[in-house]
Structure 1
């Protein structure tokens, strides 16, 4: 007898869904096949969809469609759609998918985190061949589970704990590049303003900052202030720094948008940048050159990040082996020097 006898995966049936949802099989079928004429209460519809997603049930017609054809559509679930950095990632995804014959459908991760039932319903009907998840920190685990249950998925610069392939930036190198610039100018009292405390992108950039500062000045204080990814959060972090008895001579900020808020708060407090405090932001964006003091930045390969994520997903769809983590090292982070950095004041006066 084969070792595999009796070990076949139990495939959930429509009857299983109906029974667990407490409805008739015909009603479950009509809801799951998106029959526009079926009349059920919203909570009943939601319960049926939830049970189907939990059980991993897929209508037979959809399963046959997924085996034999494709929908020619890739989903991109993205957080903070207004961010100028994220739009560059989107361009990379869309360009690569278009060249492979796919259209890209965009969704907001914050909305889906609040209610992913519509996404699960959309996926269960086979309307996407795969999904790229560029999601924010703290709430993406359930989205990953919901998506990967139905279709292949890829993460963008997030931690999926190995459950799905991930395209990553070299955030450690970005933090190193920013800090090396300031060390080269003569700074040793350098503060790091990060994103959310547990965000892996911010932690990687913080690690690069800490490595360089310890290498150059072993006795220097590691000075980290948690903020977030908005200008308002950057301004609040700067105000906390301004409340200290003594200011650092330089600040590395984990995000250019956050850095814009830091610059605003410093200006409002009458602090001269870069004469009193130098500021470097990680990520480059169109606005960096148009601030009251143009911002020195570390440019990261965001277009290439989107293209790499698309390549990972397209390779998976083609049945090709894909790495669990694809780190983009070419092109490397690039320093873009503008007006916001200079030697520390004591050094410039000596």
Structure 2
């Protein structure tokens, strides 16, 4: 605020009155102050203005897609765990948009949250350096973030292999995979698991059977139409997130492809309504609610300095709903790995 007052040639008290609207200020003076604010890129610190306590009982949760049921369950887990510990939660939806995410990170910083749980829009472009520099704990979920204080993740490589092995067990020999953006580390890990499974089964990988899409319904729809347009169609399909699976199911229905008579399909995470229309849709399920609970517990422990930083790895679960029996079953017991 002192820099603004110097730039505008007015007192700090005048700057404060302009910014808070607490008293009448001459219009010309107001214009000078606002011009100085714009020039210097000044953002009022709500704590310094006394609108927040120095040690707030608020944590921020920034997620990438509020419409995805997986993140809805994560949010519920975070909120339930936080409330038990006496904390409130601010929810921000970044829509997988780096610029929107950056704006929310700035808002969180100004609001003086005690800590942040974030599902990063990007493992490489998400920037939490300002928060880390201030000593604020940051817990990453769904995707690893190098600068994060801690993380709660699923072993996506094993989960990808689990899904693919299920299709192999159903007798599929030409398995396609629709995954997320190429730069998304979670998508890359699930594809790596897929590739590992088909290699171990002695199946030759076909690059045209792996399609990178956008993690949304239209991406799954377009990718499935593309796969069904191949001269030799796949007999198995692994779709690496639930919203793309919605699009894939729509494409299969439009083209008259029956599940599981014409193709076996396995999704990733729950689709509550889809089971009504597709009772034979198998999936790999992440423990979304538990991820949220554990992330909140870790964050609050960091805030209170109760325990050292931890990185928790959880297993996904196979939910097999196919009406035809498996040729072989491969299901691992649930476990958590903490490092």
Cα displacement (A) at 1:134:
2.2
Distance 1:260 1:124, change over 3 A: closer
TM-score by length of 1: 0.78
SS in 2 for 1:197: coil
Distance 1:52 1:133, change over 3 A: same
Alpha-carbon distance in structure 2 between the residues aligned to 1:22 and 1:283: 58
Does the CA contact (< 8 Å) of 1:273 and 1:341 recur in 2?
A: no
Alpha-carbon distance in structure 2 between the residues aligned to 1:224 and 1:22: 62
**Aligned pairs, how many?**
319
Alpha-carbon distance in structure 2 between the residues aligned to 1:79 and 1:165: 18
Counterpart position of 2:74: 89
- Give runs of aligned pairs for residues 155-234 of structure 1, distance below 5 A: 155-217=140-202, 219-221=204-206, 223-234=209-220
Alpha-carbon distance in structure 2 between the residues aligned to 1:17 and 1:324: 42
TM-score by length of 2: 0.80
Distance 1:227 1:45, change over 3 A: farther
User: Which sections of structure 2, spanning at least 5 residues, go unmatched?
Assistant: 328-339
Counterpart position of 2:2: 15
Distance 1:136 1:122, change over 3 A: closer
Aligned residue among 210, 214, 238 for 1:252: 238
Cα displacement (A) at 1:285:
3.2
Cα displacement (A) at 1:204:
1.4
User: Which sections of structure 1, spanning at least 5 residues, go unmatched?
Assistant: 1-13, 345-350
Distance 1:233 1:319, change over 3 A: same
Aligned residue among 237, 249, 266 for 1:263: 249
Alpha-carbon distance in structure 1 between the residues aligned to 2:312 and 2:4: 38
Distance 1:90 1:115, change over 3 A: closer
Does the CA contact (< 8 Å) of 1:154 and 1:164 recur in 2?
A: yes
Alpha-carbon distance in structure 1 between the residues aligned to 2:250 and 2:170: 23
Counterpart position of 1:338: 321
Distance 1:122 1:214, change over 3 A: closer
Alpha-carbon distance in structure 1 between the residues aligned to 2:245 and 2:9: 53
Cα displacement (A) at 1:174:
1.1
Does the CA contact (< 8 Å) of 1:132 and 1:155 recur in 2?
A: yes
CA deviation digits over 1:117-163, x for unaligned, max 9? 5763563353x222211243479624x24544554322212232234
Does the CA contact (< 8 Å) of 2:236 and 2:264 recur in 1?
A: yes
Counterpart position of 1:132: 117
Counterpart position of 2:283: 297
Alpha-carbon distance in structure 2 between the residues aligned to 1:174 and 1:136: 21
- Give runs of aligned pairs for residues 67-78 of structure 1, distance below 5 A: 70-78=55-63
Does the CA contact (< 8 Å) of 1:193 and 1:224 recur in 2?
A: yes
Distance 1:287 1:147, change over 3 A: farther
Counterpart position of 2:269: 283
Does the CA contact (< 8 Å) of 1:176 and 1:208 recur in 2?
A: yes
SS in 1 for 2:147: coil
Counterpart position of 2:226: 240
Cα displacement (A) at 1:287:
2.3
Alpha-carbon distance in structure 2 between the residues aligned to 1:115 and 1:302: 21
Cα displacement (A) at 1:81:
1.0
Q: Give me the CA root mean square deviation.
A: 3.5
CA deviation digits over 1:214-262, x for unaligned, max 9? 1111534353111122222100110111221111110111012211211
SS in 2 for 1:159: coil
Counterpart position of 1:323: 309
CA deviation digits over 1:90-117, x for unaligned, max 9? 1110111011011112122248833855
SS in 1 for 2:92: strand
Alpha-carbon distance in structure 2 between the residues aligned to 1:276 and 1:343: 16
Alpha-carbon distance in structure 2 between the residues aligned to 1:21 and 1:189: 69
Distance 1:248 1:98, change over 3 A: same
Alpha-carbon distance in structure 2 between the residues aligned to 1:139 and 1:29: 38
CA deviation digits over 1:289-346, x for unaligned, max 9? 1234542111111111111211221011011344363222xxx3221122487789xx
SS in 2 for 1:141: coil
